[in-house]
Amino acid sequence: MRVAHLSLTNFRNYTRLEADLPAGPLILVGDNAQGKTSLLEAIYYLATASSPHATTDRQLIHWLALRRDARPYLKIVAEVHTALEIRRVDIRVEVDEAGAAREPRLKKTVLINGLKRRAGDLHGAVNVVLFLPQDMALVEGSPSDRRRYLDATLCQVDPVYALALGEYGKILSQRNALLKQLQERNGNGAAELEFWDAELCRHGGALIAARAQAIEEIERLAAPIHRELTEGAEHLRLAYQPAFDPLSDGAPQLALGLEVPVTRAGVRPEAIAENLRQRLAATRREEIERGATLTGPHRDDLRFMASGIDLGIYGSRGQGRTAVLSLKLAEMAWMTERAGEPPILLLDEVLAELDPRRRRDLLSRIGGAEQSVMTTTDLSLFEPEFVARGKVWQVSGGTIQMENGK
Ligand SMILES: Nc1ncnc2c1ncn2[C@@H]1O[C@H](COP(=O)(O)OP(=O)(O)O)[C@@H](O)[C@H]1O
Ligand SMILES: [Mg+2]
């Protein structure tokens, strides 16, 4: 799959952009703060209707438009070539007028081939794999970084997951608010929790089941890549470490050793939900005392194991980075399997995070991708042969200079 044409209006520092994007590698070069990341962000937005960087879509609308226009909006339009069709995706985010007292609201409209769709239906219309510099620290980073990574990956290919995640988040904050009230009331009225428990477990069960399945699938693809990258020295395992283990029967949880591979794929979401419900019932008093939900997928982790050690704790920085590279390359293959065709690759300043050998490993594996868009401030990080096979565009002040004749 690839984006053949991209049109931006008031997106970040692009007031207006019309660009025919080439197939194969495209390198965006430019100084800092020129609009390289923003261009990748726009393509990512086509896949997820959300930004990996902004906390609200309002940040994506050009400042000038926000200041100047009565109804500021941004627009991303793309012509996407898939194996089966040419697809047009239109996204518009508009600031809705509001009464003087209220915060203006944002209205998001998504059209696929001219037909109005919900933002959630966007999943699958465009598939991307995004490599961010901060991903390279995923192994040594915090569990919440790894959860965010898992969620972003799964949401793209699994709309049911995306819905469950949204619902889970809402229910979790409602349930936490109720737990805080119960804490103040010394637990009086705890029966109110029943409804929230049932909902939390229903969606939580779906999330845990999908994560377990996806992690095993990605691990199967990552292991041989990692073996190659480390020339046979390391055997990589992705160990899902759920805060609530679906294999438990509600009894107090034994900490399952990470060294032992455990398969949780195939455990039914309903069975997980039921076990989780029992667990919540058993820990209710403690949750009220603490005023927070203590178990559930919002506390999951994913550990990277190589040859029996936890890389997040005992691995070197280089080992961690290599593991992430294996993970991301496996994610590309996984998405290709799930979506039926290769995703678009987006690499933001990633080469600068890698040593020369890993740079070569990465470039040799993405060189054949149908479309990859990468950014750099320093073109010399790319090997001349790689540059010669692709196109190089200069980005400066929200405009793009497509190189002569290339
Ligand atoms: N909503 C916005 N409107 C206008 N400019 C913006 C907006 N959001 C960010 N910018 C600016 O856009 C510029 C380009 O940012 P970015 O794409 O991250 O640059 P690069 O990746 O080339 O370093 C920055 O100067 C940033 O401050
Ligand atoms: Mg940038």
Is the pLDDT assigned to residue 327 strictly greater than 70?
A: yes
Q: From the alpha carbon of 395, which atom of ligand 1 is closest?
A: 22
Token readout for 185 is 């009331």
Q: Average per-residue pLDDT in the chain?
A: 92
Is the pLDDT assigned to residue 255 strictly greater than 80?
A: no
Token readout for 329 is 């390359």
Same domain, 90 and 228: no
Question: Ligand 1: residues whose CB is within 6 Å?
Answer: 12-13, 30, 32-38, 59-63, 395
Q: Which residues span the domain enclosing 388?
A: 2-127+342-402
CA 36 to chain CA centroid, nearest Å: 19
Last residue of a domain, one of 269, 302, 317: 317
Mutation choice for ligand 1 from 34, 67, 73, CB with most ligand atoms inside 8 A: 34
Question: Measured on CA atoms in the order 181, 183, 186, 190, is the torsion positive or negative?
Answer: positive
Give pLDDT tens digits for 345-364: 999 999 999 999 999 999 99
Q: Residue 327: inside a domain, yes or no?
A: no
Report the distance separating Cα 181 and Cα 190, nearest Å: 10
Same domain, 248 and 371: no
Q: Residue 332: inside a domain, yes or no?
A: no
Mean pLDDT throughout 76-90? 96
Report the distance separating Cα 87 and Cα 69, nearest Å: 30
CATH code for the domain of 240: 1.20.1050.90
- What is the residue with the minimal CA distance to atom 27 of ligand 1? 33
Give pLDDT tens digits for 118-160: 887 887 889 999 999 999 999 999 999 999 999 999 998 888 9
Q: What is the pLDDT of residue 119?
A: 85
- What is the residue with the minimal CA distance to atom 19 of ligand 1? 33
- pLDDT confidence band for 256 (50 / 70 / 90): low
For the chain, the residue count is 406
Is the pLDDT assigned to residue 378 strictly greater than 90?
A: yes
Report the distance separating Cα 162 and Cα 274, nearest Å: 21
What phi-psi label fits residue 359: left (phi over 0), alpha (psi between -120 and 50 degrees) or beta?
A: alpha
Report the distance separating Cα 122 and Cα 337, nearest Å: 19
Q: From the alpha carbon of 59, which atom of ligand 1 is closest?
A: 1
Same domain, 78 and 175: no
Q: Residue 325: inside a domain, yes or no?
A: no
Give pLDDT tens digits for 199-208: 999 999 999 9
Per the structure, the count of domains in the chain is 2
Q: Residue 329: inside a domain, yes or no?
A: no
Q: Residue 323: inside a domain, yes or no?
A: no
- pLDDT confidence band for 100 (50 / 70 / 90): low
CATH code for the domain of 17: 3.40.50.300
Q: What is the pLDDT of residue 259?
A: 65
Q: What is the pLDDT of residue 308?
A: 87
Q: What is the pLDDT of residue 404?
A: 53
> CA angle, 196 as apex, 193 and 198 as ends, to 5°?
105
Same domain, 112 and 140: no
Better pLDDT: 276 or 368: 276
Same domain, 169 and 306: yes
Coil, helix or strand at residue 200: helix
Q: Residue 248: inside a domain, yes or no?
A: yes
Q: What is the pLDDT of residue 220?
A: 97
Mean pLDDT throughout 3-19? 98
- What is the residue with the minimal CA distance to atom 18 of ligand 1? 37
In the 8-state DSSP scheme, what is residue 21? P
Last residue of a domain, one of 283, 317, 351: 317
- pTM for the model stands at 0.92
Report the distance separating Cα 164 and Cα 373, nearest Å: 31
- What is the residue with the minimal CA distance to atom 25 of ligand 1? 33
Q: For residue 64, how far is its CA from the centre of ligand 1 (angstroms)?
A: 12
Give pLDDT tens digits for 192-245: 999 999 999 999 999 999 999 999 999 999 999 999 999 999 999 999 998 888
Is the pLDDT assigned to residue 342 strictly greater than 90?
A: yes
Q: What is the pLDDT of residue 406?
A: 45
Is the pLDDT assigned to residue 2 strictly greater than 50?
A: yes
Same domain, 194 and 123: no
Same domain, 116 and 224: no
Same domain, 220 and 261: yes
User: Nearest ligand to the C-alpha of residue 28?
Assistant: 1
Q: Are the C-beta atoms of 395 and 31 separated by less than 8 Å? A: no
Q: From the alpha carbon of 375, which atom of ligand 1 is closest?
A: 21
- The label of the residue with tokens 């409804």 reads 195
Helix and strand numbers (H, E) in the chain are 11, 15
Is the pLDDT assigned to residue 114 strictly greater than 80?
A: yes
Q: Are the C-beta atoms of 197 and 179 separated by less than 8 Å? A: no
Same domain, 84 and 216: no
- pLDDT confidence band for 249 (50 / 70 / 90): low
Position 221: which residue type? L
Is the pLDDT assigned to residue 250 strictly greater than 80?
A: no
Last residue of a domain, one of 317, 332, 352: 317
Is the pLDDT assigned to residue 252 strictly greater than 50?
A: no
Is the pLDDT assigned to residue 405 strictly greater than 70?
A: no
Residue 311, H or E segment: helix 311-314
Is the pLDDT assigned to residue 251 strictly greater than 60?
A: no
- Residue 206's nearest CA partner among 161, 250, 248, 152 is 161
Give pLDDT tens digits for 264-275: 887 899 999 999
- What is the residue with the minimal CA distance to atom 13 of ligand 1? 33
Token readout for 311 is 């890389």
Exposed/middle/buried for 374, CB within 10 Å: 0-12, 13-18, 19+?
A: buried
User: Nearest ligand to the C-alpha of residue 132?
Assistant: 2
Same domain, 250 and 388: no
Across the beta sheet with 2-11, the strand order is: 14-20, 2-11, 73-81, 86-96, 105-112, 115-117
Report the distance separating Cα 22 and Cα 17, nearest Å: 15
CA 245 to chain CA centroid, nearest Å: 23
% of the chain residues with pLDDT over 70 = 95
Q: For residue 24, how far is its CA from the centre of ligand 2 (angstroms)?
A: 21
Q: Residue 337: inside a domain, yes or no?
A: no
Same domain, 149 and 296: yes
Same domain, 6 and 98: yes
Q: Residue 301: inside a domain, yes or no?
A: yes
